[in-house]
Amino acid sequence: MIRATARRALLGALLLASAACVAPPPYRRATDYPRRIADVQAVTLVPPLVSVYAMSSGNVEQEVQEWSDAANRHAHAAVRDFVERAGKRYVAYAGSHPPRPDFRLGAGRESQRSGLTKAEESWLLFESLEAAVLRHTYDPAHTFPREMKGLSYTLGAESRALLDGTQADAFLLMIATDHVPTAERQALIGIGAAAAVVTRSYAGPGMTPAELVAALVDARTGDVLYFNKVSMPLSDLRDANANKALVDLVLAGMFQ
């Protein structure tokens, strides 16, 4: 009985938290998007960066590769389904491995840049571009009005190296993260949720939503045609249906 009450309290608290979340900002598109997207008939997904972590009660995260691999497979299937339902042709990626470096450049590691391929350089440029778009078109304190009306970001024609021989009019770049609470963290969340029913204040560990960033890039010019970021509470990227729901949401404005 106590366990059932705790589960109901946890569910109630999670639903309240979800309802309290601000709706995700709208997608961003290039100024001449209707014309340019009309020329896109074939789309491919460059192998995305998908990371699923186990999150401990002490906020320590550790990636579980098996979980990340499962979420990656689900994301590929979801993107293919979305593209084909939109009446476009999905092209399987022709490369033999993800065109990403195995590290993140940081202090003291700039010397490694010289060993990067053009594809790896383009991926790192995308990560920098992602931060710029989020800051200047999503963050209310730092928005650029011009970019709010129409994106003018580009990865340059060199970014075609990301295709690794894939024949497509445009390619999708995606970064997804999720944090799955360990049993100990789930227990603390349950205790905090049960206490919140009485105190009206939740004091347990934070609940981390799944996040997905996606950008559609013109394969010829490297221009970013479409960009969106979505966070989804109560989601689990290891689940095919939850993964598909997040992909559908982040790509919702792509072919409208």
What total number of domains does the chain contain?
1
In a domain, 13, yes or no: no
In a domain, 201, yes or no: no
64 or 21: which carries more pLDDT confidence? 64
* Cβ neighbour number for residue 6 with a 10 Å cutoff: 16
Segment 108-134 mean pLDDT:
82
CB contact set of 149 (below 8 Å; sequence gap of 6+): 31
Mean pLDDT (the chain) is: 79
**pLDDT above 50: residue 20:** no
The residue segments making up the domain with residue 131 are 25-101+115-180+206-250
The torsion defined by the Cα of 19, 20, 21 and 25, in degrees rounded to 10, comes to 90
Can you read off the two tokens belonging to residue 109?
């590691």
In a domain, 107, yes or no: no
The predicted pLDDT at position 213 comes to: 96
In a domain, 15, yes or no: no
The β-bridge relationship of strands 49-55 and 61-63 is antiparallel
In a domain, 145, yes or no: yes
Give the pLDDT band of residue 1 (cuts 50, 70, 90).
very low
Residue carrying structure tokens 């991926």: 123
Q: Which helix (H) or strand (E) holds 179?
A: strand 170-181
In a domain, 190, yes or no: no
Segment 216-226 mean pLDDT:
97
pLDDT, tens digit, for every residue of 133-169?
888 777 656 555 655 567 889 999 999 999 999 999 9
The β-bridge relationship of strands 210-218 and 224-232 is antiparallel
In a domain, 144, yes or no: yes
**pLDDT above 60: residue 27:** yes
What CATH code is carried by the domain that includes residue 234? 3.30.160
Segment 193-218 mean pLDDT:
69
In a domain, 56, yes or no: yes
**pLDDT above 90: residue 223:** yes
Q: Is there a contact between 163 and 123 (Cβ–Cβ < 8 Å)? A: no
The predicted pLDDT at position 200 comes to: 61
Collapsing DSSP to helix, strand or coil, 119 comes out as helix
Among 6-15, 130-139, 144-153, 187-196, the range of highest mean pLDDT? 130-139
**pLDDT above 60: residue 208:** yes
The β-bridge relationship of strands 89-91 and 42-45 is parallel
